[in-house]
Amino acid sequence: MVSKQTVLDLLDKGLDYHQIAARTGISAGTAYLIATGMPADGGDSYTQEMRQRPGAFRSRSQLLVHPAEENPTEKPEVESWIKERVAADAQMRSAAHGTHS
């Protein structure tokens, strides 16, 4: 098991939690938990005092346990699905062409 001191030492060396995870074989969220004693997905439930702990984020620690946000409209399969929906619906076709019936 990776120790709290190991995680804090790696943070002091400039590594972020994702780099620490890669180096130690644990998840970034687990590294955060070890360093701070707080689960990364705790949201707004932490006091200001808790956020002052070494290694603690001031906000957005949930990014360590949830995938990064992405815009799904940039995915070809989403665009294809939208085009199929438009083609199947007369009102949507009118809206797509800027005409109203």
Same domain, 60 and 80: no
The gap between the terminal CA atoms of the chain, to the nearest Å, is 66
Q: What pLDDT score was predicted for residue 68? A: 66
Please say if the pLDDT value at position 7 is more than 90.
yes
Please say if the pLDDT value at position 101 is more than 60.
no
Q: What pLDDT score was predicted for residue 4? A: 94
The string of pLDDT tens digits covering residues 59-96 is 667 777 766 666 666 778 888 888 888 888 888 778 87
Per the CB < 8 A criterion, the answer to whether 60 and 53 are in contact is: no
Same domain, 13 and 55: yes
What is the 8-class DSSP label of residue 37? S
Same domain, 59 and 77: no
Quick one: tokens of 13? 């060396």
What is the 8-class DSSP label of residue 43? T
Please say if the pLDDT value at position 8 is more than 60.
yes
> In total, how many domains does the chain have?
2
CA distance 7 to 34: 7
